[in-house]
Structures are given as structure tokens and as C-alpha cells.
Structure 1
């Protein structure tokens, strides 16, 4: 990634449009990895790291984080979820839930075992290394957030 892209990603106030562009670029990267990368580190680990960042960018393209002052008001607890660190954590938990769903055979239990798209999107094979990859993606998001907060 170029320095300008990294600066835009970690800027203090990136726009929804920026996150939409990041999400599209990450999605295309994921597709290229799925189509052309051989099984191994890139396909098995880097793709899973990027999927957490992709999900984060997709959510941020739809919702903007709430200002801290507004989030401190009573009744605004749910709005705190959309603050960057909390949203990154929510995405991590979602990724973990999907992975554990694979462990428990969620696709088959939902009756989607014969649906190829469902097997690709939800997955059908549990791998503990995927949990590590998701956590690395989460750490990258936190690193970008903390980097954006430095003067």
C-alpha cells in the first residue's frame, strides 16, 4: 500500500466513501487470493487476516462512529459500539462466532450443506489458526486506530 492510502486509512476522520473504497479493494484482493494463491500462508492466513479488516471497512462504510461526547449521554450505550476500537472488537467476536459455527457444523445444521455459496461464505472447516489470523487482523485495526490518535 502506498503511504497516501495508509495515511487516509488511519486519518482522524476518514469518510464513509473512503471505507467503501477500502472494502471494495479488500474484497477484490480476497477474490484474487481465492482464485490464484496456492494453498499455504497467503491463502490460509493472510486471507483470514484481511477478512477481519474487510468486515470492519464494510461496517464503517455504512455507519459513522459517534463522537465521544455524544456517546457519554445516557441511553447512547449502543452508539459506543461504533467507536473504532469497540467496532473492531465486535468484528473480531463475529469472526470468532463464524469460526466456532464451523466447528459445530452450522452450515449443515441450517440445512445449507448442499449450498456451495453458503459453504464458501460461512465455511465448513474449523481451524484454530484462523482464530489467530482474525486476532492479527484485529491488532492491525487497533494499531491503525492508535496511530491515527498520535499528533
Structure 2
């Protein structure tokens, strides 16, 4: 169940660098708000695949579930209700519910799904 896959380390590092670049430099709000959310799903997927020998479909669904759960918790202002003061937790949890974030997470999942179902099976 736990193992190490080097190829996902490179994907994780590349996606992490992209996310950091999006956060640090003043990109267009669409890139920062939407593309960044698409990429975070890919980032979490790659990170988990480094260590977990679980079917990719299950990991992708798990990542989507986590992303949706965090977004729904934002709608209920859970960070405020729990009086979370840690900046790191606040940043990772976010603070504002946006239905477009759910769309972005879904698109990230769709990209993973297409990669699993199409590209790994040499359909293209």
C-alpha cells in the first residue's frame, strides 16, 4: 500500500513550483483563482501517488472529495467558527466559498481522469 514512485516526485515538484509562481507573481485573476485551483488537484494527486499504491481513480476521487469538502467548509465559515489563527491553515483552507472553485476542482479531476483512461491506454 505504501511505496515510492519517483516519476510522481517530478510532477509534484513541477506543479508545486507552478503554484508558488502563481502565488508570488501578480498573474491575471483568472490564472490565480481558477487555474491555480485546477493545478492544486493535480498537485495533490501527484503527491499522494508518490507514496500510495492505490488505484489512480480512487486517489483522484479522494482528492476531489477533499477539495469539495474544504470548499463547502468555507461556505460555513468554519475557520472563523473554530477560531483558527494559524496563517498556514487559513491559507490552505481558504476563506471564501466560490462555486467556480468547485468547477476548477472538477476540471482538475477531469484532466486526471482523461490521463488515466485515454493516455495510459494509448487511445491517442
TM-score for both structures, normalised by structure 2: 0.89
The equivalent residue for 2:114 is: 143
Structure 2 alignment gaps of length 5 or more:
none
* Larger Cα-atom Rg: 1
The equivalent residue for 2:45 is: 56
Aligned partners of 1:132, 1:125: CA distance in 2, in Å?
15
Q: Secondary structure at the match of 1:138?
A: helix
CA 1:105–1:39 in 2, change beyond 3 Å: closer, same or farther? farther
- State whether structure 2 residue 31 is matched by structure 1 residue 42: yes
How many pairs align?
119
Q: Secondary structure at the match of 1:111?
A: coil
Aligned-residue offset at 1:21: 1.5
- State whether structure 2 residue 115 is matched by structure 1 residue 126: no
Q: Secondary structure at the match of 2:120?
A: helix
Aligned-residue offset at 1:117: 1.6
Q: How does 1:61-80 map to 2 (within 5 A)?
A: 61-64=50-53
TM-score for both structures, normalised by structure 1: 0.74
The equivalent residue for 2:14 is: 25
Aligned-residue offset at 1:105: 1.2
Instruction: Provide runs of 4+ in structure 1 moved above 4 Å.
Output: none
Aligned partners of 1:61, 1:37: CA distance in 2, in Å?
30
Q: Secondary structure at the match of 1:38?
A: coil
Structure 1 alignment gaps of length 5 or more:
1-14, 65-81
The equivalent residue for 1:77 is: none
Aligned partners of 2:26, 2:60: CA distance in 1, in Å?
27
